[in-house]
Amino acid sequence: MSIITIQLGQCGNQVGREVFQAISTDLHSAHGLCSRKENDAYQAASRERFFSEDKTGVPAARAVLVDMEPKVIGQTLSVALRSGSWKYDHQSHFCQKQGSGNNWANGYCIHGPKHKEAIMNLVQKEAEKCDRLSGFLILLSMAGGTGSGLGAFVTRSLRDAYPTSFLLNHVIWPYSLGEVIVQNYNSVLTLSHLYQTSDALLVHENDAIHKICAQLMNIKQISFRDVNRVIAHQLGSIFQPAYSSDAAVQYSRSPLGDLMEALVPHPEFKMLGLRNIPQMSENSLAFSTFAWPGLLKHLRQMLIANAKMEEGIDWQVRPPVPGLPPSQKQSPNRTAHFNTSIANLITLRGKDIQTADLGGFRDPALYTSWLSAQEALSIWKTPRAFNKYEKSASLVSNSQFLLKPIDGVVSKAWKMFASKAYVHQYTKFGIEEEDFLDCFATLEQVIASYTSL
């Protein structure tokens, strides 16, 4: 089944381009360390998922590109075309010349309704090219105006137009030190609206990815492109084909449906985080060997200590004694909270996957009391290696990982709102103070729900 990617705003379009590039590079890698039959099945499943074929024979990304300024979309289209291995359909983009001025209300209340018909027509044309539609992957940033405001509007429109398709919003969490003065308002409005319409929100934090670029990739001058490439690699590692059970004889037919089934057992809990191991520069990769026990030991500790990468993990954090109330689920060292999970999905790719022991992830102490570890853990595998890593593991987790960032954003936004700072910038486009209060209430409920695990 196919996934249509909706790229919104500058960030969504730049990340989307890197995602398709990472998938295309993986598709064209020489061997994948598996049999030719296996490789052919993998490539066919991936192509159906992400690309459509046209008369020229060059795969066209199943994507719709939307921005309120033309510059980024122009660059995105030309960079894809120059790659020679894939392209965007030249009719699947929509742009204007005025921008959204980093204002969520401008994107949601003005640009959304004004351009809804044109954008949804592009989506319909893309959907008509799919034999079977699994759903939509919607890429956006929370900080600006187009990705966040128009992104929330388009997500709602997709929910109305495609009520049975799965919607997964991939959200870029802004740098904590700030990119835009009103980013906390934009973030609160985006998150609360997406929480009501999307099936799940998969979140990448810019701060965490920046650290990966600096410490694991050894990049000295980190650009947005470097950050986007790491994000794209991580997304590729979960969306490329894998077998959803040991008995499976074909690759997962409904990738988004299977993901939701594995990770979102209750509509109150929709926040997903992604970790990937190993990650390093290509230069280092040639001199590195990996064993499953070491990789999985690190991945498990990254989960429970809420670390985003394998360097600098707090090894003092331990699972709590079963049966303790949430208030006492703290580690013995008293500084770091144990990160309780609702559900986890582990994807293993590459050599010797049958020897990987995942017993450590089946520990009931890792999970909330209302789901058994057996129900809460899903494992996907494929002997096909991903992007030059002979062994790699990725973990998508529905857990308490975002509690601190959400709490921080809500607190900062509330302080500004209490003094009415910049509120007039939103009310002039049609967002009332009542709307802000509703959004704060929605996110306070999300915080309370995850805190209670």
Q: What is the pLDDT of residue 31?
A: 63
Q: What is the pLDDT of residue 324?
A: 60
Q: What is the pLDDT of residue 254?
A: 84
**Mean pLDDT over residues 106-127, rounded?**
95
In the predicted structure, residue 334 carries a pLDDT above the cut 60 = no
Mean pLDDT of the chain: 90
In the predicted structure, residue 363 carries a pLDDT above the cut 60 = yes
> What confidence category does residue 229 fall into, taking pLDDT thresholds of 50, 70 and 90?
very high
**Mean pLDDT over residues 116-131, rounded?**
95
**Mean pLDDT over residues 255-259, rounded?**
91
**Amino acid, res. 89:** D
**Mean pLDDT over residues 224-243, rounded?**
94
Q: What is the DSSP pairing of strand 133-141 with strand 200-205?
A: unpaired
pLDDT digits (tens, 9 = 90+) for 432-452: 999 999 999 999 999 999 999
> What confidence category does residue 312 fall into, taking pLDDT thresholds of 50, 70 and 90?
confident
**Mean pLDDT over residues 239-261, rounded?**
86
> What confidence category does residue 28 fall into, taking pLDDT thresholds of 50, 70 and 90?
confident
Query: Do you find a cis peptide bond into 405, omega within 30 degrees of 0?
Result: no
3-class secondary-structure state, position 17: helix
**Of residues 24, 13, 10, 377, the one with CA closest to residue 233:** 24
> What confidence category does residue 248 fall into, taking pLDDT thresholds of 50, 70 and 90?
confident
**Mean pLDDT over residues 398-426, rounded?**
94
Whole-number Å distance between alpha carbons of 127 and 308? 35
In the predicted structure, residue 330 carries a pLDDT above the cut 70 = no
> What confidence category does residue 322 fall into, taking pLDDT thresholds of 50, 70 and 90?
low
Q: What is the pLDDT of residue 323?
A: 60
Q: Which residues contact 156 (CB under 8 A, 6 or more apart)?
A: 193, 197
Q: Which residues contact 408 (CB under 8 A, 6 or more apart)?
A: 176
In the predicted structure, residue 4 carries a pLDDT above the cut 80 = yes
Q: Which of 319-323, 367-371, 377-381 has the lowest mean pLDDT?
A: 319-323
Q: What is the pLDDT of residue 335?
A: 43
Whole-number Å distance between alpha carbons of 115 and 108? 11
In the predicted structure, residue 407 carries a pLDDT above the cut 50 = yes
pLDDT digits (tens, 9 = 90+) for 37-91: 899 999 999 999 999 987 788 899 999 999 988 999 999 999 999 988 999 998 9
- The tally of CA atoms less than 13 A away on the side-chain side of residue 79 is 16
In our burial notation (b when 16+ CB lie closer than 10 A, e otherwise), range 364-402 reads ebbbbeebeeeebbbbbbbbbbbbebbbbbbbbbbbbbb
Q: What is the pLDDT of residue 336?
A: 58
**Mean pLDDT over residues 193-201, rounded?**
96
Highest-confidence segment of 99-113, 322-336, 342-356: 342-356
Which residue in this structure is represented by tokens 């529905």? Answer: 398
Task: Give the DSSP letter string of 60-122.
Answer: EESEEEEESSHHHHHHHHHHHHHHSS-EE-TTSEEE-SS--TT-HHIIIIIIHHHHHHHHHHH
> What confidence category does residue 329 fall into, taking pLDDT thresholds of 50, 70 and 90?
low
Percent of the chain at pLDDT > 90 equals 73
In the predicted structure, residue 98 carries a pLDDT above the cut 90 = no
> What confidence category does residue 327 fall into, taking pLDDT thresholds of 50, 70 and 90?
low
Whole-number Å distance between alpha carbons of 27 and 21? 10
Whole-number Å distance between alpha carbons of 283 and 277? 16
Q: What is the pLDDT of residue 230?
A: 94
